[in-house]
Structure 1
Amino acid sequence: MMKKLLYLFALLCMATGFTSSCKESALDRSLSQAGDNRKELEAVLLHYQNDTLKQQAARFLIENMDAHYCFGGDAVEKYYHAMDSVFRHGKGDRAYWNRQYDSILGQTGQALDSCMAVPLFDIEHVKADFLIAHIDSAFAVWHRNWNRQYSFEMFLRYVLPYRIGHEGLSLWRGKYPLPQEEEEDYERNTFNSNFVYGIAHATFLGMQPWIYYSDRQLPEFPLGQLMHIKAAICREYAHLNVASFRAQGIPATVDFTPQWGNRAMGHEWCVFFINNETAIPFEMGQPVGCHFMKRKEDRLPKVFRETFEKQETSLFMKNKGKESLPPVFNTPYLVDVTNQYIETSNIEVNLYSMESNRHSDYVYLAVFDNHTWKIVHWSKISRGKALFTDMGRDIVYLPVYYIEDKIIPAGDAFLLNNKGEKVLLKADDTKRTTIKVKRKYRNIRTNVFLRDIVGGKFQVANRKDFSDSLTLYTIPLLEDNHFQIIKTPNKSKFKYFRYLSPNGSRGNMAELYTFDEKGDTLYPIRFMNNSTTPSEHDMKTLTDGDVLTYYEAEGTENIWYGWEYSQPVNLSCIVFFPRNDDNFIREGETYELFYWSHNGWTSLGKQKGNLASELVFSNAPLHALFWLHNHDKGTEERIFTYENERQIWR
């Protein structure tokens, strides 16, 4: 489906204005592409013939709309209507919204896929009345008290456009009113930048976005429908934020990273401008400017800004339809803004010679997702080398060719370290060593879960109120998150057992069991706790055998939970497992270790997981980049190097 869309998109671009004579104006090129819709666009220009600024605005939109598109058809309209209905009337948590999406997609799925294969290009479908209404509504909020600081160029680029991405078209501006208290501030001549901050805080700070991930491409919601949205991907929330700002005459757009540099997936977010240069990242439910403060561990390899205006610096415009491009760069509407977010480096790489790639002018840099390499930047090839500009640091990159929709290694993998130095990760097959592997993936959350239980105590007692409690074990800072086995030498017998959580923690424990001196499980006759819990995080989760379910109290002070035995027992062993991500080595599951070589991933063999949660491979090459794959389950997996007898996650 996506390949067909990209193919049609490329044909349109090659057949129209992008290969036209440079003597032809941008406006003439767009009008020539409009076909039967040309009269509609000319009607807009005629409508504003006596208004210089609106005429300029109309020209800007028409000159740049030729590669903008959305999707239509009965299935798309049915999907929009059904989702809007549940958003307006439904209430629930993330699980509820997942069920709603799944149900509606179950009814529209195949038909929706067919509609998504055929784009509807704006140049051929946007009507005069629609365009005039949008231009007038944009000018209605232009150069008011609260947005006097912005230039007309900023207005054209980031306020005027009738669309943000590939959403269905709608007349949306009037559906985003300001809060009443903000309208009152208009008359007080509030300092402009302060007012912009106030709008960001007042509009979305209290909203709770639920994220829904689909395994298929979905049409983006019309902007007029987003005010009721309850669950969606981050792109939809970014559109909601951008539309709200633009409806108030405040310049805003979407920035995105194609792929995080040290974890799965990419991300998209709203940015708004407080003046003509300064863009502020914004996420609903968060204080203004704090979006990346909450993502300190997430590394950005590249950041691009989406525009309505075609960008001469984009790969799409430079390529001019000569060769197939990766989907992320198959658009003329991108600007590289990476150096506005992070410290970057320009990196020159040596490329493998490749006969099958002799006709390509471009090479790419990719970063690792859970199982594959994802392209994040491009460069022109020059004499067997390539210079990649403004790359994020402390990230592993792989130079690749993009040929017939396939990614092929184009050079050695390397680490761009936090000093901006390139460190080649080239396996030395002549030198082997033994490595010990404890996990297939490391997420910063697992460290938080471990810190949250430091100081927690396992106690026994013979009185129900634990007034005679004896502490058997106090949890220290643990090195890793897996099953912990604690021997308790005390020979006395007790009727009650509990876990006393450290203050500030909600008692997050995934599994908890006790055993007698024979190794037999000690079963409780009654559970006990001193705090309320959501039903999905109650005490049943402690012994359900599922390491991804966990106990979580609603309070954080003096939280404890445990149980009563039928009679006093000698408790000789405690087995516990903190809240976790289930990416440790699981007993009985099959793992395979790979290292990166010139031609791709090379296997070092398969092993079964063990109770010690550790795999040992004795034939690993030095200086290599590794990847541990679980053949039985799971999706989260991460590349690593091995240094000083430890996995170093990359």
Structure 2
Amino acid sequence: MNRVQMTIIWSLSIVFFVSCESAGDKRLDFALEQAGKNRIELEKVLNYYQNDSLKLEAARFLIRNMPGHGGYEDDRLDSVKAVMKAAVELNIGGYLPDSEWKRKWIGFNYRTLPKRPDIEYMSADYLIENIEQSFKVWEECPWAKNYSFDDFCEWVLPYRIGDEPLDNWRKMYYDRYKPLLDSLYTGNDMVEAVNVLARHFKRTNLFVLTTEYRMPHLGARFLSEYLVGTCREITDHAVYVFRALGFPVNIDKYWYSPSNQHDHMWNVLKDSDGGFIPFWYMDSSDFVVKRGSTDGRKKGKVYRNTFEAHDSKTVSLFGPFYQDVTAEYFGENEFKVKVDDNIEGNSILLGMFSPSGYVTVDAVPLRRGKARVNNIEPGVIFQPLTSENGTRSPAGYPFMVVDGNVRYFEPDMSKAVTAHIRRKYPLRQYLYGYMATMTGAEIEVSNDRYFRTSELLCCLTDTPRTNLNYYYPKISRPYRYVRFTPPPPAYPTADCRAEIAELA
């Protein structure tokens, strides 16, 4: 059984209890049945709050959505985490060296480890502490009036983010960051409070980046000591901090962006007017938490990580704990897209092209030979796909929405032109920020391996505009050694980092 089949079967079990909600809260009954011997622990929580209607409903929310949630806790994960700890302890800025990272990952797949379902292992004490601490900050923070109880349940109350080991993290993060917030901001504007704290993290956090996930979520306790990982760990850390302080913060992501050829995730704050403000406190540009801001990345389709299980078309693709929120970013839209005449079935996949193959980002219904595509980003090329034995194949011509109309990329083989392509997508601000770190870099040559005497080949006085750059220096004689020296950091504690892939 392949991974896709496993996901669909697991998801269908979730759909069952999501769709059968009726009088008497059948979803809660289903969850308690799934708990088996652990049912007594969950009923302790319900009995504990029987005289507090609001906390009782919060407990019911967590329990009814608990099936499907769980984490990996195994000694074999510790040896991999040790590499990540060492990177932080050695004060390695920027990226974790690939050799150390990959040496630990070869042949290791954490998904083969036993997973502990929350519904079978959750203790009453843990759940009660989580609920009590959540209500404490909700009742005391001045911005609590900005969001409803339903928002509180989904955006503040959840005790976990993904498949991390469970920690009693709320009080730990509250005690650490509440005094910091009080020292930085004393007003009542929720957006500005998050902005001030996020800017502080951007300025002070020396985050060691890795290039791959291949680990369960690292967990709140680990991230409180070691800021290391990918964009996933950056957003996880932000969720722990802001939820511990009563802010309604969640995580959005895209599975693939054609403009930078990988996935990405970021945080989102639910504003007092019901809108959503995306932010990522480690963004290289002058990105702050403010209304109407955007990072400029092409996203295609956007999904939100949720604790509540959803009954929607995304269930069979990415599991019940992802919600399609693309319309929040690009508005609602719907298009009928042509597919090949020989395509059968009631649905097809929607994908994007990547150098390693098509990346699936949605599943769409098929009616009368046309795919009904909803809520996609204009200006992004999508590919209708079919899937057979795990292999994705085109089901029609690529298309893109331009000015509200579907444009197909159907080749005219009778015509040929020559084009000089410098960039596939515009140079966005966040990319410009990365490339600007090259300004001031120097390239030297020498016949002394220690460069006690050297000749300067060139100094980069302006930001490069493309990835591949040629420079033809005039040198006085042949040299054996070449050295690239990045520019000094912007401030003493900043990360000295060079965005260079190859020098030849």
Q: Distance in 1 between matches of 2:435 and 2:64?
A: 53
Q: Distance in 2 between matches of 1:266 and 1:368?
A: 13
Partner of 1:133: 129
Equivalent position amino acid for 2:298 in 1: R
Contact 2:178 2:245 in 1 (8 A): no
Equivalent position amino acid for 1:331 in 2: G
Q: How does 1:92-111 map to 2 (within 5 A)?
A: 92-94=92-94, 96=96, 98-102=98-102, 104-105=104-105, 110=108
Q: Distance in 2 between matches of 1:120 and 1:8?
A: 19
Q: How does 1:587-626 map to 2 (within 5 A)?
A: none
Q: Distance in 2 between matches of 1:266 and 1:308?
A: 21
Q: Distance in 1 between matches of 2:21 and 2:60?
A: 19
Contact 1:304 1:338 in 2 (8 A): yes
Partner of 1:310: 309
State percent identity of aligned pairs: 23
Q: CA deviation at 1:238?
A: 0.7
Partner of 1:230: 227
Q: CA deviation at 1:452?
A: 8.4
Equivalent position amino acid for 1:376 in 2: V
Q: Match of 1:423, SS? A: strand
Q: How does 1:365-380 map to 2 (within 5 A)?
A: 365-380=350-365
Q: Match of 1:433, SS? A: coil
Q: CA deviation at 1:253?
A: 0.6
Give the 3 Å change call, closer, same or farther, for CA 230–498 of structure 1 in structure 2: same
Partner of 2:373: 388
Q: How does 1:88-487 map to 2 (within 5 A)?
A: 89-94=89-94, 96=96, 98-102=98-102, 104-105=104-105, 110=108, 112=110, 114-115=112-113, 118-149=114-145, 150-176=147-173, 177-178=176-177, 180-183=179-182, 190-214=188-212, 217-275=214-272, 277-286=274-283, 287-289=287-289, 295-296=295-296, 298-316=297-315, 325=316, 329-342=317-330, 345-354=333-342, 357-358=344-345, 361-417=346-402, 419-429=403-413, 431-433=414-416, 435=418, 444=427
Equivalent position amino acid for 2:39 in 1: R
Contact 1:258 1:267 in 2 (8 A): yes
Structure with more helix by fraction? 2
Equivalent position amino acid for 2:263 in 1: G
Q: CA deviation at 1:59?
A: 0.1
Q: CA deviation at 1:248?
A: 0.3
| RMSD of aligned Cα (Å) | 4.0
Q: Distance in 2 between matches of 1:412 and 1:122?
A: 44
Structure with more strand by fraction? 1
Q: Match of 2:298, SS? A: coil
Task: Say which one has the larger Rg.
Answer: 1
Q: How does 1:492-641 map to 2 (within 5 A)?
A: 501=459, 512-514=472-474, 522-523=477-478, 540-541=482-483, 550-554=484-488
Q: Distance in 2 between matches of 1:38 and 1:52?
A: 21
Q: CA deviation at 1:164?
A: 1.2
Equivalent position amino acid for 2:482 in 1: K
Q: CA deviation at 1:207?
A: 2.1
Q: Distance in 1 between matches of 2:21 and 2:330?
A: 39
TM, length-normalised to structure 2: 0.80
Partner of 1:626: none
Contact 1:84 1:225 in 2 (8 A): no
Q: CA deviation at 1:204?
A: 4.3
Q: Distance in 2 between matches of 1:88 and 1:582?
A: 26
Unpaired stretches in structure 2, ≥5 consecutive residues: 443-453, 491-498
Q: CA deviation at 1:175?
A: 2.4
Give the 3 Å change call, closer, same or farther, for CA 231–144 of structure 1 in structure 2: same
Q: Deviations over 1:547-584 (max 9, x none)?
A: xxx4544399xxxxxxxxxxxxxxxxxxxxxx97679x
Q: CA deviation at 1:31?
A: 1.1
Partner of 2:17: 17
Equivalent position amino acid for 2:207 in 1: P
Q: Match of 2:177, SS? A: coil
Unpaired stretches in structure 1, ≥5 consecutive residues: 317-324, 457-495, 517-521, 526-538, 542-549, 557-578, 587-650
Q: Match of 1:308, SS? A: coil
Give the 3 Å change call, closer, same or farther, for CA 183–582 of structure 1 in structure 2: closer
Q: Distance in 1 between matches of 2:478 and 2:84?
A: 49
